[in-house]
A and B are shown apart, each in its own frame.
Chain A
Amino acid sequence: MADDQQIVVEKPAPGEIIAPGYTFSTITDQISSVVLTRKTPLFWFAAFGFGGSLLMLFLLAVTVLLAKGVGIWGIRTPVMWGFAITNFVWWIGIGHAGTLISAILLLLNQSWRNSINRFAEAMTLFAVACAGMFPLLHMGRPWLFYWMMPYPNTMGIEPQFRSPLVWDVFAVSTYATVSLLFWFVGLMPDLGTLRDRTKNPIGRAIYGILAMGWRGSARHWSVYETATLLLAGLATPLVLSVHTVVSFDFTIAIVPGWHSTFFPPYFVAGAIYSGFAMVLALAIPLRSVYGLQGLITDKHLDNCGKIMLATGWIVAYAYMLELFGAWYGGNTYEQAAFWHRMTGPYAIQYWSLVACNIVAPQFLWFKRVRSSPVLLFIASIVVLVGMWLERFMIIVSSLAQDFLPSSWGIFQATRWDWATYLGTIGLFLFLFFLFVRALPMISIFEVRTLLPQAKVSKEGKR
């Protein structure tokens, strides 16, 4: 094997996805060396340590929460959803880009997705884990979460299946399960690669058990391809349904600012918007730290930037339609709700969200911006902040000022609100960097199929 270890950082040729000069073995070695042989870079320790410290903060916040109750958060009548549900919707939305990349782009035959799908799916999984924390903790007694499930019990009661909150339980738990399955199935061939390449006997045993005896047989590949395609076909409607169901939590209520029929597509677009921002925010540092510019190329960043621009416009359209609907609908309360958003106690948040979500992404029209990783990174952070503000705006401002001025109240976030929120960012980073260290962050076998050598020549075709 003479073709070992060449570092390639040239730009890919037009029409090609990854940089020229790669072979099956260099791809395998470059991606698996991150896990198996290469010295762990300082960046990893810094990021993992940062995530770990915030995770400690999360554990502290949860301990205090369990000891004292949800009153440590700023949730007071009338804003009983506060940060908890804001963060839940934000995190779930971030997860959606992973499924979009792995399922929808697979069905659309967008093979550039092959080098970013693995870590995007991992991102989905961990974002859903973070999202799940909030409704669980918000219940106040998370250890009784199983009361949400229908099961025979001595209390003689059952869930109310006409409630969107129960739909949410089923949608989010199905989403978490299917994301995990999809991610694991995608990992199996690569776990086989790691099993065959590692020299550490313990690692070999662990990867071997996880790979379940995968041997790359043509029989397996043919069933495997069918399975991935079917899973992609199932995950596609699923991902669209999940944020739709999340938006039903709002639209089925009659609160002004919530009760509108276009929330489902608006929420899904926003989810993909924030999710791609997170993909960029993770991909840009990772590829430069691990020297993966040949696999996650500028073209990938450019494509992600374009998707952000497109979904950003859908979100902008939704904001405009929301205002138009309020005005044209002629409902006084609805009109007041939007007037309050723009001029009321949350005006600063509203206008910052407009700046972050609508104005800032317009720079992505310029190719110069899309081809600069630093600017793209900044843009993605701005969008993540903007989308968080959007969720905050929808939930908090609508609840704070509903029908009767006598029942109005302003939400004040406490330090525990912030600690829990930052804590889940810690949980996310902690899990994500653990994943980067222990598993191949780019799908090795799918990137192999991108090589020109992977095409069977005419002679073989016949």
Chain B
Amino acid sequence: MSEQGIYGVMAEFDNPSALVSAARAARAKGYRKLDAYSPFPIEELTDALHLHKNKLPLIVLAGGVIGGLTGFFLQYWIAVIYFPINIAGRPLNSWPSFIIITFELTILFASLSAVLGMMALCGLPMPYHPVFNVPRFSAASRNRFFLCIEAADPLFDPAQTSQFLGTLEPTEVSEVAH
């Protein structure tokens, strides 16, 4: 199969509107394995590629809950069980004074899970990715916009897909080597 040899076909655009319309057209054509690359986040692109749902809020919630429980029970265990100190007969589980560290650890764990969760969901760090084989791709972090239809897509055919991308008024269409 010829598509084994390449990662996909990539079209280059010089403005965000063109990229968004192209992404819509590609979705409408039935392509599902595709990704767009832009120098800044584009709300409409997220819509066009149906990317709005991700699991990050759930990960952060879980991190926050674990952090809060860790914070409180760390203090509870130390103050009540492991190292109890009786100060003027006050209760050992003086929970109001434990609130602050509980709160801080909630934030700490939630933030760490936000960052690590984001990296995991994005698959970062990633030392190698085929899109960088396109010489012009370095402009994706400057002023150019790219749409890549991947060879893994069932509808993918190198010639037809390139031709289809060509109809979307790109500035350039190129094959992405593996």
Contacts and interface: CB of A to CB of B under 8 A. Distances in A.
Interface of A: 1, 3, 23-25, 28, 150, 156-162, 166-167, 170-171, 174, 177-178, 181-182, 184-185, 189, 192-193, 195-197, 212-227, 230-231, 234-235, 237-238, 241, 245, 248, 445-446, 448-449, 453-457, 459-462
A221 B41 contact: yes
Contacts of A174: 104-105, 107-108
B46 A158 contact: no
Given A197-B142, A459-B17, A460-B18, A454 B40 contact: yes
Contact of B143 (A24, A223, A459): A24
A192 B129 CA distance: 13
B100 interface: yes
A235 B60 CA distance: 13
Interface stretch (B1-9, B119-127, B154-162): B119-127
Interface in B30-83: 35-46, 49, 51-52, 54, 56-57, 60, 64, 74-75, 78-79, 82-83
B15 A178 contact: no
A218 B36 contact: yes
Nearest to A220: B122
Given A218-B45, A218-B51, A456-B20, 6 more contacts: A161-B78, A181-B115, A189-B40, A218-B23, A460-B16, A460-B21
B174 interface: no
Given A189-B141, A213-B129, A167 B17 contact: no
B100 A245 contact: yes
Nearest to B34: A218
- The prevalent SS among residues of A at the interface is helix
A222 B46 contact: yes
A453 B131 CA distance: 25
A374 B43 CA distance: 39
B111 A177 contact: yes
B122 A230 contact: no
B117 interface: yes
**Ranked 4 nearest A-B pairs via Cβ:** A213-B126, A212-B125, A24-B143, A460-B17
Nearest to B144: A24
Taking residues whose C-beta sits less than 8 angstroms from the other chain, chain B's interface range is: 35 or more
Contacts of A171: 100, 104
Contacts of B107: 174, 178, 234-235, 237-238, 241
- The prevalent SS among residues of B at the interface is helix
A161 B104 contact: no
A245 B97 CA distance: 12
B40 to A, nearest CB: 4
A67 to B, nearest CB: 35
A26 B122 CA distance: 29
Contacts of A456: 16-17, 20, 42-45
A231 B111 contact: yes
A238 B109 CA distance: 12
B138 interface: yes
10 contacts: A177-B108, A197-B141, A212-B125, A215-B131, A217-B37, A218-B49, A221-B46, A230-B57, A234-B60, A234-B110
A293 B54 CA distance: 39
B39 A157 contact: no
B83 A157 contact: yes
Contacts of B36: 217-218
Q: Which of A160, A213, A217 neighbours the largest number of chain B CB atoms within 10 Å of its CB?
A: A217
A171 B103 CA distance: 9
B94 interface: yes
Contacts of B177: none
A203 to B, nearest CB: 14
A221 B24 contact: no
A25 B131 CA distance: 21
B173 interface: no
Given A28-B39, A223-B122, A234-B114, A192 B54 contact: no
Contact of A460 (B44, B110, B124, B126): B44
Given A160-B85, A223-B54, A196 B142 contact: yes
A161 B118 contact: no
A170 B100 contact: yes
Contacts of A150: 74, 78
Contacts of B137: 215
B140 interface: yes
Contacts of A448: 39-40
B115 A23 contact: no
B110 to A, nearest CB: 5
B37 A226 contact: no
Q: Which of B23, B107, B110 neighbours the largest number of chain A CB atoms within 10 Å of its CB?
A: B107
Contacts of B141: 28, 189, 192-193, 195-197, 214, 216
B101 interface: yes
A231 B82 CA distance: 34
